[in-house]
Structure 1
Amino acid sequence: MTENELSIEILSLSLRCQQGVASEEDRARLEYLLRESEEARLVYSGVALDTVTLAEVANKNSLVLPNENPTDDEIGTLAPAGMETELRPVRKGSWQFLLALAALVLIASWSVAMFQTKETVTVADRQARPLARIVHLEDVQWNSGAVEFAEWSAVNSGDSLQIESGMLELVVDDVIQVVIQGPANFELVSAEKALAHSGKLVARIGEEGIGFEIETPHAHVVDQGTAFSISVSPEAQTDVVVYEGIVDLSARDDSLPDSSQPPIFRRLQSGEGMRVDSQGELNRITSVGPRDFLPPLRLGREAVRPSRLIASVTDNVSSLETSKYYRIVGEGFAEDCVSYVDRLHQWNGIDGRGIPGFLHGADYVMTFNDDKVLDDLQIAIEVTQPVAMYVLWDDRIEVPEWLSKDFLDTGWDIGLDEGYNDRVPDVSRKTELGAGKSVDFVFSIWKQEVRHASTVLLGSVQQARIDEAPREVSQSMYSIVVAPLRGFRGNKAN
């Protein structure tokens, strides 16, 4: 798909969603594009900002067209060949009007670029745009005495967003998306820097935003093209976890006991997290859940709940050896859910019937797929009540003693959709949506009934250490799923 084709499809799907006429297939397609393509996410953000700019222009009755009083023929030249120029009348000022107007102008500009004609439609020059906009507010309570911003308000250099509770979403310079949860104090300095004085945030930054820095009372966080989350307790520490890409983390000079020593620097990659305390020391974060961090950004802001069943996940790997974390997802196990913190693989039903019903909506732990080469790993899962604990085991690997001793093979299977081959990356192979689609490998589902709140120890995948690089090994790490303990019976149908 070309850049122009992608832009037109994103715009068309967005328009149908906003008008309330999108089908389930339309919504699934839009969500898939935004999840899989950084370019699609940037186009989507641009559509939102251009729509707001059009709203401002429309309210001022200052829309500029090639002719102040265009004829029907002139209006027709704004649409690509084959596009109907007769539009249903909609109320001026409504979202339908704004998006229809945005669609007309934006498709026209892309069409003109494609065919290299001389006609253009200028609504607002990029330089005239504000530095950022608040594109969504959710149950926001502003701090007493703080400046209050409305949805779609412009945010410029020096503006401070101080919220007591709720969440807001900010888009900076079309390429940086930030969601902030109160209580929080966030200050935008420029298109290259922001100050996070307190609170939680999650950010997704496109290629053009690489180098964007977020400074906290304890640390400097510099993006290298990524998605990451930050939690700031101003008197204690700054916690940083990386969902995708790379972040450079260092302690602030003034937080170090000895200011003559250079600050400790750490480059964090997908699936890694570190804490910088008030003394400038860095320590590993072992597990990540929505109580402590905002989840990765997704279309629709689907509910992400803290786990009621899993209190913590730890292991025996020294914090000096790794910065990896385990991500705990409450009630999140479902078709096409992401499998690992360091891969974009997904869990799927092995056929059209989907994932087994007893796993649907369960809590689960996203493990680290690179750990598949270790022979001495121990993972400790602390549960808060009686649970059924499931281990999803790669059928390509011999079953170890710890698994066969403490768990029972249920006879059910689940599929892993890798989307590409780790050893020979193939960008043309994408993960697919839906049960039984694009299943690359089959995993057996093993179960243990844990009859009271306790800690369960799990072992390693390998019986002997593998010295090959993890991405060279055609096997996968196990995953852990936890559900309330109920009656369980039956085997899968043949």
Structure 2
Amino acid sequence: MTAPEKRIHELIDFVLDGSCTDKQRQEFAAILDEHPELIKGLASEVFVHSLLLWQREDITRDLSSLDKAQTVEKGSSALTAESRSESVDGLRRFTTWAIAAVLLIGGGFVFWQTRPQSNWQERAVAEIVDSDSVSWKDGSTALKQGDLVVPGRLRTEGGDFTMQFRSGPIVHVIGAVSMMVESDMLVHLDSGQATARVPHELKGFTIKTPVIDVIDQGTEFGVAIREDGFTDVVVFDGKVDLADHISNKIDPTRLVQGQAARVSRQGTMQRIMQVGRDQKGGWWTSDYPSSGVNVIQEVRDNIPPADGLDYFCYQISYHGLDEDVFAYVDDPHQWNGIDERGLPSFLRGADFVKTFNDYRYMEYFQMTVSLSQPANLYVFFDDRVPPPKWLTDQFEDTGENIGLDEGPWPARDKALRPDLPVYQNAVGAGNSIDNIFSVWQRRCDDTTPVVLGIMGEERQARAMYGIAATPLDVTSVSAKDHSILN
């Protein structure tokens, strides 16, 4: 018997006696991922074991012992025939559950393959609604009739695909991945990256990882299992609860929109300072992208974590600046052109940073921007505030403007201040522009980091500045040139 076969048999015993841990389940799945040839023999062995157990005469003696054990002090009656029948049913239900657990953990191969294939549509919990260059690996037992997903395992070598679950969530998977689909509300992600968008009215959709359970509370969030063993969790909208498998914490850690955390194998969590996304939001990374993809390499601030609970995370949108893009991580405000001409042409398609609007009144705030190449670096600064010295010393006002379309107030703010003005996002350039920002430019001939500062000393109404960058060979145009072009 090979070492993998021996270990599989050891793990079966843990499953059948009810002591299997999440770590052992993950080990079981990993072995079967590497050795799918073991599944058929494993399933046959478990079924034979079950049938023999049911037919053993020892069961009758066990039930007889159970009768005696449950007989109470003198005057109590023994188990009735009805209760004995219920005990037999309970034992059978346990055995059936144990078999189902083994087969589901191992990829669900036999359980689903032995069902009539004409009913895959009824048994599907999700459907693949989009895919691009996906290379499926052997052992993808959850994939049926091309695009149906039933409980089982999905494994890819690369590409990306999107699943629409029957319960409502949409999950986008990218790159090499191994995941177990258990139901329309539960997925085990063993390796790779998945981003889920869940309807706000639906709560409880969960992505389990080897170290943490990410439990949705109506949101868009991303989960990535890193090669170094850490797990990254990013919340793009709404909120999630994180329940780790290691510590003794009773209450889960909650992450809200704009927060991100990296979780170690020991369950410790740390802030992720930034993530990058493509302009369509199809993929994201907490690492630096490959050369040539980005202009903005990194943004960092001097805000210390508050007792380890502050997980604010900047988002860099590569080539993403366009009409109606969200300006901030934490507020639903959008950048737009100030009139029907739209954004200044030299800004379209620029890398830009979604900053934190909550930082606009910080007195000691400092941000450092690092570039991957020589670039034009831009700061969008609120015209309601006098430009601070760090801005006038390092940047030049282009004479161009960009508009901010403010979105709705958070429900908690509106409840506390019913007198607040009503804001709604509109679509398109020049629509619903609530505030004007001047576009300031700095020519960066090298990649020396640039340090930005606070909004100013005064406390008047304001919104946090924005940041964008283009390669140096994309030349800025003056206000006069812009008027001629338009």
TM-score w.r.t. structure 1 length? 0.65
User: Whole-Å Cα distance in 2 between the matches of residues 268 and 431 of structure 1?
Assistant: 25
Instruction: Give the secondary-structure state (helix, strand or coil) at the position aligned to 2:347.
Output: coil
1:338 aligned residue (310, 326, 340): 326
Q: Can you list the C-alpha shifts for 1:439-475, whole angstroms capped at 9, x where unaligned?
A: 11100111111110121111111326x6xxxxxx842
For residue 463 of structure 2, what is the aligned residue in structure 1? 476
Residue in structure 2 matched with residue 415 of structure 1 by the alignment: 403
Tell me what 1:279 maps to: 266
State the partner residue of 2:78: none
- 1:262 partnered with 2:256: no
1:271-312 alpha-carbon deviations (Å, 9 max, x no partner): 110010122110000011138x99379xxxxxxx98421111
Residues in 1 aligned to 2:468 and 2:137: alpha-carbon distance in whole angstroms: 40
SS at match of 1:280: coil
Aligned-partner residue type, residue 326 of structure 2: V
Q: Which residue of 1 aligns with 2:185?
A: 192
Please report how far the alpha carbon of residue 233 of structure 1 lies from its aligned counterpart in structure 2 after TM superposition: 1.9
Select the residue among 234, 248, 256 that pairs with 1:241: 234
CA distance in 2, matches of 1:460, 1:130: 53
Match of 2:203 among 207, 210, 226: 210
Mapping of 1:414-453 within 5 angstroms?
414-420=402-408, 424=414, 429-453=423-447
Distance 1:428 1:132, change over 3 A: farther
Residues 153, 321 of structure 1: alpha-carbon distance in 2 compared, 3 angstrom cutoff:
closer
* Cα gap change, 1:226 to 1:153, in 2 (>3 Å): same
Q: Secondary structure of 1:188's partner?
A: strand
Q: What amino acid is the match of 1:173?
A: R
**Any stretches of 5+ residues in structure 1 without a counterpart?**
1-124, 298-304, 467-472
Q: Deviations over 1:142-179 (max 9, x none)?
A: 1244448368632223x111111011111112411101
- 1:308 and 1:190 mapped to 2: Cα distance? 38
Aligned ranges for residues 89-128 of structure 1 at < 5 Å? 128=122
Q: How has the CA–CA distance of structure 1 residues 294 and 282 changed in structure 2, closer, same or farther, with 3 Å as cutoff?
A: farther
- Alpha-carbon distance in structure 2 between the residues aligned to 1:366 and 1:451: 24
Residues of 2 paired with 1:427 and 1:155: CA distance? 47
The aligned residue for residue 18 of structure 1 is none
Kept in 2, the 8 Å contact 1:232–1:239? The answer is yes
Question: What amino acid sits opposite 1:312 in the alignment?
Answer: E
SS at the partner of 1:196? strand
CA distance in 2, matches of 1:237, 1:383: 26
Structure 2 gap ranges (5+) = 1-118, 284-290
C-alpha deviation, 1:327, in angstroms: 0.5
Q: 1:310 matched to which residue of 2?
A: 296
Aligned to 2:52: none
Check conservation: 1:336, 1:346, Cα contact below 8 A: yes
Shift of the alpha carbon at 1:326?
A: 0.7
Whole-angstrom distance in 1 between the partners of 2:173 and 2:213: 18
For residues 415-441 of structure 1, the C-alpha deviation after alignment (integer angstroms, 9 at most, x for no partner) is 001133566588975312211111111
Q: Secondary structure at the match of 1:351?
A: coil
Q: Matched residues in 1 for 2:282 and 2:202: separation? A: 18
The SS at the match of 1:167 is strand
Task: State the AA in 1 paired with 2:375.
Answer: V
**SS of 2:345 mapped into structure 1:** coil
Q: SS of the counterpart of 1:370? A: helix
Taking every aligned residue pair, what percent have the same amino acid on both sides?
35
Among 114, 129, 132, the residue aligned to 2:126: 132
Amino acid at match of 1:282: M
Larger radius of gyration: 2
CA gap 1:151/1:238 in 2 versus in 1, 3 angstroms: farther
User: What one-letter code is carried by the residue in structure 1 that aligns with 2:298?
Assistant: S
Say if 1:415 and 1:290 are closer, same or farther in 2 by CA, change over 3 A: closer
Give secondary structure in 1 for the equivalent of 2:384: coil
Match of 1:251 in 2: 244
Instruction: Return the match for 1:176 from 169, 172, 187.
Output: 169
Q: What do residues 112-149 of structure 1 show as CA deviations (whole Å, max 9, x unaligned)?
A: xxxxxxxxxxxxx9x94622112222111012444483
**Aligned residue number for residue 94 of structure 2:** none
Distance 1:129 1:328, change over 3 A: same
Whole-Å Cα distance in 2 between the matches of residues 385 and 306 of structure 1? 9
CA RMSD of aligned residues (A): 2.8
Distance (whole Å) between structure 2 residues aligned to residue 306 and residue 265 of structure 1: 39
* Structure 1 counterpart of 2:188, one-letter code: L
- What SS is found at the alignment partner of 1:358? helix
CA distance in 1: counterparts of 2:227 and 2:243, whole angstroms:
16
Q: In 1, Cα distance between the equivalents of 2:371 and 2:258?
A: 22
Counterpart among 386, 389, 396 of residue 377 in structure 2: 389
